[in-house]
Chain A
Amino acid sequence: MINPEKAGIDAVQALIELKVSPERNTGYDSVAERISRFPEVKSVRLVSGEYDLLIVVEGNTMKEVAYFVAEKIAPLEQVRNTVTHFLLKTYKENGEIYEEEEKGERLAVTL
């Protein structure tokens, strides 16, 4: 498990909520699969609630990610609405807490 911030990796990630129109016969599958093919898209999930798909997009800069969404995702026929959340800081990922392991203050000598 690598903490990209500590490793000096400057990549930018964003969570993007998508409202999409399902298609007859294939439902959400065809649009989700289509979006999955972009290498910039790291994950695609169908979720319940206010919107339909939650995707993770990665790029080198915020501008790159924003343009990607504006140019490749938003114009898709089935996509009705997008909301982009840039990730600022990760505290825990895949069950691992990113901060240093806690150390108590111990005395140097105890018998």
Chain B
Amino acid sequence: MSDRVSDRVREIKGSGIREFFDIAQRMEGAISLGVGEPDFVTPWSIREACIFSLEKGYTSYTSNWGLLELRESLSDRIYKESGVYYEPEGEILITTGVSEAFDLALRAIVNPGDEVILHEPSYVSYKPCTTFAGGTPVCVDTGVEDEFKLRAEKLEEKITARTKAVVLSYPSNPTGATLGRKDLEAIADVVNEHDLLVISDEIYGKLTYEGEHTCFSSLNGMKEQTILLNGFSKAYAMTGWRIGYAAGNKEIIEAMMKIHQYIMLCTPITAQMAAVEALRSDDEVERMVSEYNRRRRLMVEGLREIGLSCFEPKGAFYTFPSVENTGLTSEEFAKRLLLEEKVVVIPGSVFGDCGEGFVRCSYAVSQYELKEALERMGRFLDNYLR
């Protein structure tokens, strides 16, 4: 058989820098600023709740929707934090991470050829997932001059008769950019006018260091238009548990559940049990957030001191400095930095063409590692900037 792999999958380009990643994964003594997950271990109370649930014998399937207790706690939590009420029965679906929720959302709403607008630089899976779902990704570039915010005017330029949805992902991976209420309201106006859906991935929402995170569905009239995606990975340091959720209007959530019940059946019960406890243990979240904030300041200042221009990120745990003044492409910069000084950063081009000229540096590492990495990067830059 010659066509073992489907055309749809074959057409997705494998990442060209996989080789670089392989070297990075294996290099001894490297400091990695290339990580996209917290360096904290899941808080003990959450792990303990999971262990206890296993001791009690909670090892079975749950409802396709997820444990009702968890959906109820989430409903309360979302209402308390953003003033939007989602019914625990019918408007909330527990998923195996936001990754699954994102895939379900697209598959639930996209017809072949429908366009989905994404802002770049962005998380790597939005584009291929759109293609897998049969949609056509349409990218809007955001730039450092706009602090990597998606501007309503730029969004509007890309809207056509085929546009079905807009993906919003703020605070942003990889830039650390956030959108304020005014920015979001301008986007909401455009969405309203053109009757679009919004998939709002707010996984980094709790990691907002200046101002408050605004939930997109809390804006006037947006609840019906928005599929809110969020989870426990980043704020509660639970990446490996794979648990997230989608909240939105009944029709869409029901459609997502239809897919979820056939492909996933339900999210593992152990993760759901842990998540119930997570919603009770916010002290730890506050502690982690204030530690990230300290490191954020340390890193932005450090990068500027060694000669890189760095936009001030206000959310997530990434900085996105420009490396243009070195005369290197972002991929070359990352490769040489790894080989010469053993520091891993991610070339911005991975996150879209407009990420070229930047690198993503994660500050989800200890302050000690951060300082050491900055020192090594400073040494490296001395050779290129003088």
Contacts and interface: CB of A to CB of B under 8 A. Distances in A.
Contact of B32 (A102, A104, A108, A111): A108
B41 A106 contact: no
Kindly list the 10 A-B residue pairs having the minimum CB-CB distance in the complex, ordered from nearest.
A108-B32, A110-B36, A109-B34, A102-B41, A109-B21, A111-B124, A108-B25, A104-B41, A108-B24, A109-B24
Interface in A27-61: none
Contact of B346 (A104, A106, A109): A109
Nearest to B360: A111
Interface in A69-111: 102-104, 106-111
Contacts of B124: 111
B255 to A, nearest CB: 28
Contacts of B344: 108-109
Contacts of B36: 110-111
A51 to B, nearest CB: 34
Contacts of A111: 36, 123-124, 173, 346, 350
A3 to B, nearest CB: 17
B35 interface: yes
A108 B30 contact: yes
Interface residues of B, number: 19
B206 to A, nearest CB: 19
Contacts of A109: 21, 24-25, 32, 34-35, 344, 346
Contact of B25 (A102, A103, A107): A107
A93 B173 CA distance: 39
Contact of A110 (B27, B35, B41): B35
Nearest to A104: B41
A81 to B, nearest CB: 40
Given A108-B25, A109-B34, 4 more contacts: A108-B24, A108-B30, A108-B32, A108-B34
Given A111-B123, A111-B124, A111-B346, A106 B39 contact: yes
B224 to A, nearest CB: 32
B27 A108 contact: yes
Contacts of A103: 39, 41
A37 to B, nearest CB: 41
8 contacts: A106-B32, A107-B35, A108-B27, A109-B21, A110-B35, A111-B124, A111-B346, A111-B350
Contacts of B173: 111
B37 interface: yes
Contacts of B39: 103-104, 106
B124 to A, nearest CB: 5
A111 B128 CA distance: 14
A103 B237 CA distance: 12
B302 to A, nearest CB: 20
Interface in B1-47: 21, 24-25, 27, 30, 32, 34-37, 39, 41
Contacts of A104: 39, 41, 240
Interface string B236-262: 000010000000000000000000000
A58 to B, nearest CB: 31
A111 B240 CA distance: 14
Nearest to B124: A111
Contacts of A106: 32, 35, 37, 39
Contacts of B37: 106, 110
